Every structure is written in structure tokens, then in C-alpha cells.
Amino acid sequence: MKTSNLMRIAAVGVAVTAIAACTPRRPVDTGAGNEVPPANNPVYPGTGTGNVDGGNLGAPAAGSEQDFVVNVGDRIYFDLDSYEVRSDAMPRLDAQAAWLQRYPQVTVRIEGNADERGTAEYNLALGARRAESIRTYLIQRGIPAGRIDTISFGKERPIAAGSTEDAFARNRNGHTAIVSGAMR
């Protein structure tokens, strides 16, 4: 055999070996109760079933920060140059108050935010008034004042990038952040 043919055979052998090494091996069903689940329908230990939603880890733990964010909502929005709580935000704040009543060990910090328009000083003052509006609303719903701190970030912590009306609207917000007491 010529050297070039031997080189080709060796190259093919290396390629076949590499492909075989990358192919996943499946256990053999011995019939002894060790059924192998289909590859697209995994069985996780302890579930006993094969119908698993990929990535669904279940509901957040009651009283956790994730529970608050997912099931209640941690942010409301304001109109331009306003710190008045909008009527569409009231149900969310009512839900926050109910959640905080259910978990009396939790303290929160209300963070007031503004869009990028206006001076830094103006936006800090506006953010402070927004945070205080939310705090007042929650206190009026029975949450003790000592459980609620406020801070203004003005225009320093935007949640939406850009200088569009949509970005401005999203950045005019009040964020209720869990500070302590929630299950983590």
C-alpha cells in the first residue's frame, strides 16, 4: 500500500473514533425495573414521572423576595414630572401592603427614580417625592412607618436604556426593594 492510502485510512479511523466518542451512550434496559426514559422526556430523581417541564422549578417560596417580585410586583410607574400615585398603580400597592401585612418581619426600601431629562438635583428631589408617595400609601394601608425606608436615585439607575418615550416612561418609577426579613 502506498503511504498516502495509509494516511487516508488512518485519518478516517481517527474521525470514526472521534465521532464514536462524542455519541451519547444510553444504558441498556435489562427489564429489571431500570427503564431508560426517552431522551426528550427525562425523569428527575424522586419525581417518578417522565413529564418534566424544562427549567420549571416551581413557585417561589412563600415570604421570599422572589415571591414578592413574582406574585405581587415591586415597581410602579409615574407620569412625567409627577409624584402622584396613578390609579393603575394602586392595585399593585394594595397587593404590596397585603403581602407586607402577611410577613410582618419584612422591611422595605422604596427607591424613587426619574428619567434622564432635567437636572440631577431636580430628578433627585422628584425621586424622593415619588418614594415618599409610595411610603405614605403603604402607611395608610396599615404598614408601620418603621418598616419602610426611602431613597432617591434620581436619574442614576435607569432600567431602560435609550432616550425614547418608552424608555423615559419605564425609568419614571418607584421600586419597592426587600431589605430584610424575607426568606432568601
Q: Give the pTM.
A: 0.68
How buried is 113 (Cβ within 10 angstroms: 0-12 exposed, 13-18 middle, 19+ buried)? buried
Are 71 and 109 in a shared domain? Answer: yes
Summarize the confidence of residues 134-161 as an average pLDDT: 98
Are 129 and 89 in a shared domain? Answer: yes
Are 72 and 152 in a shared domain? Answer: yes
**Chain-wide mean pLDDT for the chain?**
81
The confidence score (pLDDT) of residue 15 equals 55
| Closest C-alpha to 80, from 50, 34, 35, 114 | 114
Are 73 and 151 in a shared domain? Answer: yes
Read off the pLDDT band of 59 (50, 70, 90).
Answer: confident
pLDDT > 80? residue 5: no
Are 30 and 91 in a shared domain? Answer: no
Are 52 and 69 in a shared domain? Answer: no
Domain that holds residue 38: 1-58
Q: Which residue among 58, 80, 97 closes a domain? A: 58
In 3-state terms, what secondary structure has residue 85? coil
Are 48 and 75 in a shared domain? Answer: no
Domain count of the chain? 2
Question: How crowded is residue 50: how many other Cβ atoms within 10 Å of its Cβ?
Answer: 13
pLDDT digit string, tens, across residues 18-45: 555 554 444 444 344 434 333 333 333 3
Contacts of residue 142, defined as CB under 8 A and 6 or more positions apart, other chains included, come to: 97, 101
| Closest C-alpha to 183, from 66, 102, 82, 85 | 66
pLDDT > 90? residue 50: no
